[in-house]
Structure 1
Amino acid sequence: MTQTFSLLFYIKGKCHNPFVPVPIYMRITVDGKRSEMSTARKIDPEKWDAKAGRMRGNTQEASELNHYLDMIRAKINKIHYQFIESEKPFTARQIKERYLQKDQRFKMLMEVFEEHNRQMKSLVGKEYALGTWKRYNTTFKHTREFLKTEYRRDDIPMMEVDLRFINRFDYFLKFTKECNHNSSLKYINNFKKIIRMGVANDWIQKDPFYNFKAKFKWVDREYLTREELERLINYEVTVPRMGIVKDMFVFCCFTGLAYIDVKKLTPNNIVKHIDGSLWIQSARQKTRSKLGIPLLPTALEIIEKYEDHPKVVNGDCVIPVLSNQRSNAYLKEIADICGITKHLTTHLARHTFATTVTLSNGVPIETVGKLLGHRNLRATQHYAKIVNKKVADDMAALKNVLNLRKPQKETPRPQNRFLSSGE
């Protein structure tokens, strides 16, 4: 069904004094029924062209007013086209309300963020890792604090988020929350997902992240050298709980598993390969990518060591592990005892596997990426850069040694002419 539509600008009210401005109104007509509203502009009646619905003349005042009216006309026409595309009957009042945005409630930023996190939490263990939800929850808290501190508000419409908002939030994270560059950017990327949801659902007209440019800074990832790893393996632990932490760390050094993946590992994940060797078959908790890891002798020894542990016997795990926080506390103590100055954490074992155990021993980078469960090679190349740096450092040290061994040229001693002449 075709509906008639027209738009008219006119001045409303007359004044006895021709120089007293009167308001300009807009009239929307659909199927002969009208709906009117003010344009929030006034004009001297003598300057108004009723037939054209515009201000007469080419002055700056006329250009600015006519441009403003053209913008209103364009918006009304766009709304009219939207109603036509919906193929549903509409009225002049509906067009007016859509223009005034009275027919829709603004989507509020923190409401959308909170709902997103609520849904994510319900999918922890199915589609998301617990750590992922925790990071988004922390981002939510930082955003809420930012709004209260900088805007003195509990929430804002999503459409008010612009590039200036993002830059201020980035500064807030770095200055007020004292986040380093990369940590700040991770929070910003979490926030970006919420904004992109708003763009996809037409709650935001323009993506405020379009002109936001930021890159992660290169950070050297610590790992244990071969000597440090051997020192830790040979350390005899007397405290049982500390021994469990040490064995878990070494196991990760020779499998590349993250802490959470070791914790979730069960005897069912240990399978016999076609060649008779034992492999770990599981999936990374972080990315859900499949893992297939051949068990090296050191890792096998640790598994066999805990075969009679009650938790292993019950099928709950392959090796018993403490909490991540407690493990890291014990690792700090172990590092001090072993004379390791690096900040020892459960995740440093994964870095050690990638560098010292595999890449430094000639394992191809593609294979290392597969063992680590990386979805693309870019993540693995980070470790390759570390190994290349180590090669450069080792070669520089070798050059120094070779220079020391190089025989020095003897400086010819000046002859005494008196002795040489026999005098």
Structure 2
Amino acid sequence: MNYSYTFNLKDPNSTKPTLIYLRARIKAENKYLKYSTGEKIEPKNWDKELQFPKKIKGRTTKAIQVNSIINQLSRYGEAFQLICSKIEAEGTELTVNLIKAELDYQFKKFTTAPKSFFNVFNEFIQEKKDLGKITTGTIGRYENIKSVLEDFSIAEKYNLTFNRINNDFYIKFVKYSRKTLRHKNNTLGRNIGFIKTFMNWAVMKKYHRNLDFKNFEKVSSDTDEVALSFTELEKLYTHKFKTNRLRKVVDVFIFGCSTGMRYSDYSRISKRNIRDGQIFINTTKQKSNLGIPLNKYSKEILEKYDYNLPIISPQKFREYIKEACKVVDFNEDIVKTSFIGNERIEEVIPKYKMISTHTARRTFITLSLEKGMRPDIVMSITGHKSYSSFKKYIKLSKKIREEEMNKAWS
């Protein structure tokens, strides 16, 4: 047993009633818990050997008072043992603070229970919202992984506590994500990353000391994301659309293709962001004030809308840009390969269905490199800090790969 307890008097030599404390040794922490029961007794009515009140026979006022104290101390003793058993059954390490919080909840009539794993997760999300350091999209992803964990806990009958985020949890969660949710490797890897971020935050906040999560592997696999060729870009830009709705979404999309900016950034541009032929705006992720030179496309589009680009919700943007690309016949079949663990999944999808807001940023990087821009210059425009994150966006065209192969092997 990792704990033992007894009752002690605050002042054993007092001639007046003195407080009674529950005192316990918590072996895991090698610390002692000293908790006031709120009960008082005269030392002459205290059994020093048993560390408990002497039972007084009869129905006198004194006997009734002492017997009431005995009953209350028995309640404290039972509660203490139940609390410790419950905490250990959950796989959580016994700590003085945790036991104290549970005793407070039961005996001091506190209105809120000690914080559970998911209560702390709510606190984590709320702090991120309050600090405003991450995008609403990232907040949504944190809320989503919390829901995934709640569903996992119920489906797998796995009570989630900080100390149970261990290798056993990792194996069960990976299996659940792949078999039940059919999450592909990159989705699973992203979720593992979010869990690790939360657990690191909780360590910093001193909610736990379990570091097993640091060994969790963030699985990933290459994705078949598309980029537009220069010919496709021109075809899309010059097409005469019948609806203003599609014209606007294409103009905004082409602006992204010609600047490399994220949709969350270029949707916030106004005339005050333009100085000396460059766009200056604090990006939502890096918070860096990038100077992005205007070119033919970005300048024409900004002037067309008097430097106030049409505002389109991300959901509608994804829907409309696919529709526009279908109109201009981007119907080439693309074999999209993904993995769930080692299971290879191949889908044949027309190209227009693979176009999204992020395709614009990937197109800018790919075409800029094809046209001879140095990678470090492209990175300075897109705001990438490391080549490892930058290279995921590179989607070299068939033409440039054939040219390079001919140069090397002709």
Q: Give the TM-score normalised by structure 2.
A: 0.66
Conservation of the 8 A alpha-carbon contact between 1:256 and 1:349: yes
Residue number among 101, 108, 111 corresponding to 2:116 in the alignment: 108
Question: How far off is 1:141 after superposition?
Answer: 0.8
Q: 1:420 matched to which residue of 2?
A: none
- Structure 2 vs 1, CA of residues 30 and 184 (structure 1 numbering), >3 Å: closer, same or farther? farther
Question: How far off is 1:387 after superposition?
Answer: 3.2
Question: How far off is 1:201 after superposition?
Answer: 3.9
| Alignment of structure 1 residues 171-320 onto 2, 5 Å | 171-272=175-276, 278-307=277-306, 318-320=308-310
Q: Distance in 2 between matches of 1:320 and 1:100?
A: 54
Answer yes or no: is 1:340 the counterpart of 2:330: yes
Question: How far off is 1:395 after superposition?
Answer: 4.1
Question: How far off is 1:389 after superposition?
Answer: 7.8
Identity, in percent, stands at: 24
Residue number among 395, 401, 407 corresponding to 1:392 in the alignment: 401
Q: Distance in 1 between matches of 2:191 and 2:265?
A: 24
Question: How far off is 1:175 after superposition?
Answer: 2.3
Q: 1:372 matched to which residue of 2?
A: 382
Secondary structure at the counterpart of residue 282 of structure 1: strand
Answer yes or no: is 1:79 the counterpart of 2:90: no
Q: Give the TM-score normalised by structure 1.
A: 0.65
Q: 1:14 matched to which residue of 2?
A: none
> RMSD of aligned C-alpha atoms?
3.7
Conservation of the 8 A alpha-carbon contact between 2:192 and 2:216: no
Q: For residue 291 of structure 2, what is the amino acid of its counterpart?
A: G
Looking at CA atoms only, which structure, 1 or 2, has the larger radius of gyration?
Answer: 1
Q: Distance in 2 between matches of 1:101 and 1:302?
A: 60
Secondary structure at the counterpart of residue 212 of structure 2: coil
Q: Distance in 2 between matches of 1:100 and 1:320?
A: 54
Q: Distance in 2 between matches of 1:344 and 1:381?
A: 19
| Structure 1: unaligned runs, 5 residues or longer | 1-24, 40-71, 84-91, 273-277, 313-317, 403-423
Q: Distance in 1 between matches of 2:238 and 2:231?
A: 11
Conservation of the 8 A alpha-carbon contact between 2:281 and 2:291: yes
Question: How far off is 1:29 after superposition?
Answer: 10
Secondary structure at the counterpart of residue 259 of structure 2: coil
Answer yes or no: is 1:330 the counterpart of 2:320: yes
Conservation of the 8 A alpha-carbon contact between 1:365 and 1:381: no
Question: How far off is 1:102 after superposition?
Answer: 2.5
Q: 2:128 matched to which residue of 1?
A: 120
Q: For residue 362 of structure 2, what is the amino acid of its counterpart?
A: H
Relative CO higher for 1 or 2, CA cutoff 8 Å, sep ≥ 6?
2
Secondary structure at the counterpart of residue 320 of structure 1: coil
| Structure 2: unaligned runs, 5 residues or longer | 13-20, 35-50, 52-76, 85-93, 103-113, 332-350
Q: 1:42 matched to which residue of 2?
A: none
Question: How far off is 1:229 after superposition?
Answer: 1.4
